[in-house]
Amino acid sequence: MRRYGVQPVGMIDDLEFAPLFIAGIARLAWRYRSELAPFTIATSVLLGGMILRHWFPEWWPTVLIITIMLVGVLVVWGRWVNLPRPIERGYAAFTTAFAGTWLTLAAYHGPFTAPLPAVLGIGTFLLAVPWWAHRRRRARVRVERTLAAWPDIAQAVGLAGSRVQSAIVDLWGYRFRLGLGLGQTVEDAVSSVPRLESALGTARGGVRVQPVASKQANRADVRVIETDPHADAIAWPGPSITSITQPAKLGLFEDGNPVRVPLLRRHALFAGMSGAGKSGGVNVLLGDLTACQDVILWAIDLKRGMELQPWASCIDRLATTPQEAEALLADAVVILDGRADDLTMRGERVWEPSPERPALIIIVDEYAELASEAPRAIDYADSIARRGRAPAVNLIAATQRPSKDAMGKSAIRSQMDVRLCFRVREPRDGDLILGQGMVKAGWQPHKLDAPGKFLISSPEHDIPRRARTYLLDDEGVRATAEQHAVVRPVLDEVSAQALERAADTSAPLPRPTVKPSPRHARDNAVREAEEALAAALRQAPGDGVSIGDLMRATGMRRTWVYQRLQDLGRARQVEQVTRGRWRALPEIHDP
């Protein structure tokens, strides 16, 4: 009885229907082969026991020895046969031990000797329950059944002729390699992403399409995200490098692999709309760079130091006004020229960073403000972008929208080898940051849905893969800056001499601390700074005063303050209370 009335029932009472009936049963058995696997294995074990008892009853010790060996192999090397978790290896080992023991007893006593049949039936059912409940198995079966309908799906989404070549289920969803049809390209697959999301039954934004690593034009990797691996923030694990020659780790891709990128002799761009996570990315980068003893850090923060001031104790020079920014970049060009002259005299081509000859990295926050407030500084930045690679003088710029007006000079943006694109509002902004045509090729930063998520384009990362940067909160910034302040290097002799020569022979530029015009004016400023340093040390509380506070009190750079503290420490006039905190010692009168 059905909704629309009584339906006829056909009875199979003729042999001509038997092949159809058998084929239908076979199709059902194949479709549900994963669910029927425990009963299939139990039947095979029963048949094996019958064969052993009838023809090879004396083999029961051999079966027992093979069982013990297989159990040991699964326990020790099970991860190499797709059993990564200990509980999975334990289940496989226990099941193997059960089947091998039953076969041994069946060969010795007979498979139908009580209670062996009951033990096999009850054991099969109990061991089948974990198999049926296993999440990865159920996910694999669901994916196989979904992809079995791929010809119909391909026809519906406009990729007729394509085929699924392989599929892998992981913790967050699944991915499959797609062989494209004749004349189809990866761009065609990218444009079909919204239709794929509908056909595969995923959430919006749950499908990723990207070229394969081998760069074959008729292949594409399709990834289906069912559980967002980047739904929650990722805590910063600490600095990943101790030298600028090592690739920095900026975050994690969706598959859990780290985002590593070399920064030596490279300019970098951090871009995205307000609130997308640029500042968090810059903080993570600074957390790594401040741990390197072969890097001098200069910084420009035209928000009056709101963003970069917490790192002041690790930054050798911090500019917070347009005039200071212009002077800083002018001095960077002087250092660049001085290093180039030194390399020429040495007969070398590149500046190799070391603690004695550190690289110079200049971080500019809100680069658009620099272009509008200090247009002369852009000329210096342009020179650094074009010539800074060999002398290891590099720029790292952060801005919301790197348009021609915001960047000031086209050479700066074109020289940015490393580009991190956080969320943008419009697709055209993605092309502006990453390069013309990148959005059409699958780089779609306008679809990023959380702060800290980004796409990275660099010589090592030429495939669009979503990533999320680590979270380094304000307390973590303060603790990291205090820890790394005591290991920061000083400016190398070549660069320092270049600055001195420029101060003596060229017209002075406005500086944030000491005026570079007449010598006596500089001497007076230094004496005033020393007096301010002594006063700040005498007035320090019991736990000491930080180098950042001493920099603000004296108006001098971190290198000068740290060197002066070292001199006073050798003279037994100051002591280091904790890492990065100092105070004056009481006067000692020698009788």
* Strands 393-399 vs 267-271: parallel, antiparallel or unpaired: parallel
Q: Does the annotation flag 279 for ligand binding?
A: yes
Distance CA 268, CA 287 (A): 16
DSSP 236-295: ------SSTTSPEEEEEETTS-EEEE--TT-EEEEE-STTSSHHHHHHHHHHHHTT-TTE
**Strand locations in 452-513, DSSP E?**
453-457, 466-471
DSSP state of 514: S
Contact assessment for residue 352 and residue 297, using Cβ atoms and an 8 Å cutoff: no
Q: Cβ neighbours of residue 390 under 8 Å, at least 6 residues apart?
A: 265, 340, 343, 349, 350, 351
Residue 362, SS3? strand
Q: Which of 482, 497, 509 is nearest to 338 (CA)?
A: 497
Contact assessment for residue 531 and residue 564, using Cβ atoms and an 8 Å cutoff: no
Q: Is 38 left (phi over 0), alpha (psi -120 to 50) or beta?
A: alpha
* Strands 359-365 vs 317-319: parallel, antiparallel or unpaired: unpaired
Q: Does the annotation flag 158 for ligand binding?
A: no
Q: Does the annotation flag 440 for ligand binding?
A: no
Q: Does the annotation flag 548 for ligand binding?
A: no
DSSP 133-202: H-HHHHHHHHHHHHHHTHHHHHHHHT-TT-EEEEEEE-SSEEEEEEE--TT--HHHHHHTHHHHHHHHTP
Please give the structure tokens belonging to residue 257: 């692999």
Q: Does the annotation flag 278 for ligand binding?
A: yes
Q: How many CB atoms lie within 10 A of CB 254?
A: 19
DSSP state of 417: E
Count CA atoms closer than 13 A to 177's CA, side-chain side: 12
Q: Which of 441, 437, 419 is nearest to 428 (CA)?
A: 437
Q: Does the annotation flag 11 for ligand binding?
A: no
Q: Does the annotation flag 345 for ligand binding?
A: no
Q: Does the annotation flag 44 for ligand binding?
A: no
Distance CA 49, CA 46 (A): 5
* Annotation: binding site for ATP: 272-279
- Going by the annotation, the residues of the binding site are 272-279
